[in-house]
A and B are shown apart, each in its own frame.
Chain A
Amino acid sequence: MDALRQYFPFLIPVAVLEVGLMVGALVHLLRRMKTRNLNVGAWAVIIVVFEIIGPVLYFLIGREED
């Protein structure tokens, strides 16, 4: 456990990127409330539940063009 705690600072940037991607996707979704392929609620769940993959999929196939 000590070893894990010792490397905790290294995990912070990873967590920041992952959470940033998720929040970015959620903000993008909630500001438009328009999606493709699935409805808004389903995309919100996908973004939150699936780390990295969820937001990536949303930006690729779920995002409504402006």
Chain B
Amino acid sequence: MNSFLVFTAKELREQLKTFKGVVVLVVLLIFGMTSPLLAKLTPEILKLAGAGVKIQIPTPTYIDAYAQFFKNIGQMVMIVVILVFSGGVVSETSKGTAQMMLTKRLSRSSFILSKFLSDACVWTISYAASAGLCICYTVYLFPTGNPAHLFLSLFCMWLFGIMTIAVSLLTSTVFNNYALSAVGAFCLWGLISLISSIPKITDYAPSALGGDNMGLISGSIAPAALRVPILTGVLISALLLLAACLLFRRREL
């Protein structure tokens, strides 16, 4: 247990040293601020662009701000997360530093789990900061309106990110090349979304975590509907991690 924590701390330092943590934090902060701003300013920008032409645009509300935020996080940020974290194990196995770590009384499963824990820490801190900024900006720019189930909605997107990290970690242990690992992670991630869109599965699939956020905020989706997707999201993340641990144990380094 002790070596697990020591290694996790070392991993976190490494995340800063290799700029991975910084990249994730900065990208998330930028999206946290620009989403409400863009929602507020889009009508003004359109007016400037089409000077003289009358364009009818509904006045933006807090709904648009959160819609922008969740759209950006669900697409752009997830791509960045996959790109950043699918190199985690690959870089260590290809350079041979993993071997060094594993001889120091660190089991292979702890190696994978501590990688996951440090990635999850970076994601959680960056996401919390980004969501906090987004809420502050939105409350200031759109003082009226009260979003329903905002925190549940934010939590679902956080869990979606955790699942994405688990996907990247799995492909990162399977392949021994960064490009393959990243492409593999995109494929696996796409596959989960694809399977999620099969009609009979949709209600239970974890993709709802990254897709139903606006329904929760506008109140058109009841929180109870998210119960099963949250469970399957946790379950799939755990299974992906288990698969990563098992595969890494059998892998020749």
Binding site for B on A (CB under 8 A): 1, 3-4, 7, 10-11, 13-14, 17-18, 20-21, 24, 28, 52, 55-56, 59-61, 63, 65
**A66, chain B: closest CB distance, angstroms:** 9
Chain B residues closer than 8 Å to A4, beta-carbon distance: 41, 44-45, 48
* A14 CA to B34 CA, complexed, in Å: 7
Does B26 lie at the interface of the complex (its beta carbon under 8 Å from any beta carbon of A)?
yes
> Would A3 and B44 be within 8 Å (CB), given that A10-B37, A14-B34, A59-B19 are in contact?
yes
What is the chain A residue whose CB lies nearest that of B80? A56
Please tell me if the beta carbons of B37 and A7 are within 8 angstroms of each other in the complex: yes
**B125, chain A: closest CB distance, angstroms:** 16
A-B contact pairs, 19 of them (CB 8 A): A1-B44, A3-B44, A10-B33, A13-B33, A14-B33, A14-B34, A14-B37, A17-B29, A20-B26, A28-B19, A52-B27, A55-B23, A56-B23, A56-B27, A56-B83, A59-B18, A59-B19, A60-B83, A60-B84
How would you classify the secondary structure of chain A's contact residues: helix, strand, loop or mixed? helix
Chain B residues closer than 8 Å to A1, beta-carbon distance: 44, 48
Does B189 lie at the interface of the complex (its beta carbon under 8 Å from any beta carbon of A)?
no
* A17 CA to B80 CA, complexed, in Å: 16
Please tell me if the beta carbons of A17 and B44 are within 8 angstroms of each other in the complex: no
Binding site for A on B (CB under 8 A): 18-20, 22-23, 26-27, 29-30, 33-34, 37, 40-41, 44-45, 48, 80, 83-84, 87, 95, 137, 141, 178
Please tell me if the beta carbons of A7 and B29 are within 8 angstroms of each other in the complex: no
> Would A21 and B41 be within 8 Å (CB), given that A1-B48, A59-B19, A60-B83 are in contact?
no
Please tell me if the beta carbons of B40 and A17 are within 8 angstroms of each other in the complex: no
Apart from A56-B23, A56-B83, what 16 extra A-B contacts exist at CB < 8 Å?
A1-B48, A4-B41, A7-B141, A10-B33, A13-B33, A14-B33, A14-B34, A17-B30, A24-B19, A55-B23, A59-B20, A59-B23, A60-B20, A60-B83, A60-B87, A65-B95
Please tell me if the beta carbons of B26 and A21 are within 8 angstroms of each other in the complex: yes
> Would A14 and B20 be within 8 Å (CB), given that A3-B44, A7-B40 are in contact?
no
Chain B residues closer than 8 Å to A52, beta-carbon distance: 27, 30
* A24 CA to B26 CA, complexed, in Å: 12
What is the chain A residue whose CB lies nearest that of B30? A17
